[in-house]
Amino acid sequence: MAYILIIISAMLVNNIVLAQFLGICPFLGVSGKVKTAVGMGSAVLFVMTLATIVTWLVQTYILNPLGIQFMQTVAFILIIAALVQMVEIILKKISPSLYQALGIFLPLITTNCAILGVAILVGNGTYNSMGLDATSLLPAIVFAIGTALGFMLALVIFAGIREHLAKLPIPEGMKGVPAALVVAGILALAFMGFSGLV
């Protein structure tokens, strides 16, 4: 039950894009079409889960025992960069079709602050773990999956709206990003309705 609550909380109540403001760049950058939004979302889901597991292992078995928590930022960003590269190479070899679907999004993910943000939250055990032990692995993985699903959800809804937005008459100065930001704001308002769900 607590695991379901973690997912709901990470996905809807504390949506990473609309409530925590992480991962805005890809949110604004690639969400022109629903199809690309799904692609980007799945790439983030894949990398975020993997990155959370690896950084959790590094935090628990290297940084904490050695007492060098201050190397966290350096270590995590290097791990994520290396991980993305490796995923790219492995995908290319093993599953060319999957690589074609996700490939172009992978390089963008290194600088997606949502990934590093989740890794740091998990590393410090400061995410909302619904009463479960925040320093153990399973709640962390569930939290990462929930967050990534929330990212995908926000991205897909946003892309769906933007597909229609392109056809509307908008004042010159508001075209493009400003209009998109207003839409994002309204979406954030809507997501505030989830508050108190958990």
Partner 1 sequence: MAKKQSSLINMVLTLFVITVVAAVALGFVYYFTQEPIAQVKEKKLNEGLMKVLPAFDHQVAEEVEGVPTYKAFDANEQLVGTAVEVVTDKGFGGDVKVLVGFDTEGKIFGYTVLEHKETAGLGSKMGDWFQEGGKGNVIGKDLSTPAKVSKDGGDVDAITAATISSRAFCDALNKAYATYTASQSSNTATEAQPAAEEAKAEATAEPTEVAENEGGQDNE
Partner 2 sequence: MKEDRTMNNWKNFTKGFIKENPVLVMLLGCCPTLGTTTSAINGLSMGLATTFVLVCSNIVISLIKNLIPDKVRIPSYIVVIASFVTVIDLLMQAYLPGIYETLGLFIPLIVVNCIVLGRAEAFASKNGVWASCVDGLGMGLGYALALMILGAVREVLGSLSIFGWQFIQADGILVFVLAPGAFFGLAYFIAVVRRFNK
Characterise 37 by phi-psi region: left (phi > 0), alpha (psi -120 to 50), beta (else): alpha
Interaction of residue 86 with partner 2, rule CB under 8 A: no
Alpha helices in 67-176 (DSSP H): 72-94, 96-102, 106-109, 113-124, 137-165
Look at residues 154, 189, 176, 136 and name the one whose alpha carbon lies nearest to residue 10: 154
Indicate the residue type of 84. Answer: V
162 vs 183: CA distance, rounded Å: 8
Q: What is the dihedral of CA 198, 6, 101, 29, to 10 degrees?
A: 60
Write each residue from 132 to 171 as x if it is in contact with partner 1 (CB under 8 A), else as -, in one continuous string. ----------------------------------------
Q: Which of 2, 62, 89, 192 lies at the binding interface for partner 2 (CB under 8 A)? A: 192
Interaction of residue 196 with partner 1, rule CB under 8 A: yes
| Residue 128 binding: pick among partner 2, partner 1, none (C-beta 5-8 Å cut-off by kind) | partner 1
| Residue 18 binding: pick among partner 2, partner 1, none (C-beta 5-8 Å cut-off by kind) | partner 2
| Residue 130 binding: pick among partner 1, partner 2, none (C-beta 5-8 Å cut-off by kind) | partner 1
Is residue 134 within 8 Å of 68, Cβ to Cβ? no
| Residue 129 binding: pick among partner 2, partner 1, none (C-beta 5-8 Å cut-off by kind) | partner 1
Q: Which of 25, 62, 71, 89 lies at the binding interface for partner 1 (CB under 8 A)? A: 71
Q: Which of 12, 23, 41, 158 lies at the binding interface for partner 2 (CB under 8 A)? A: 23
Q: Number of residues in contact with partner 2, rule: CB under 8 A? A: 40
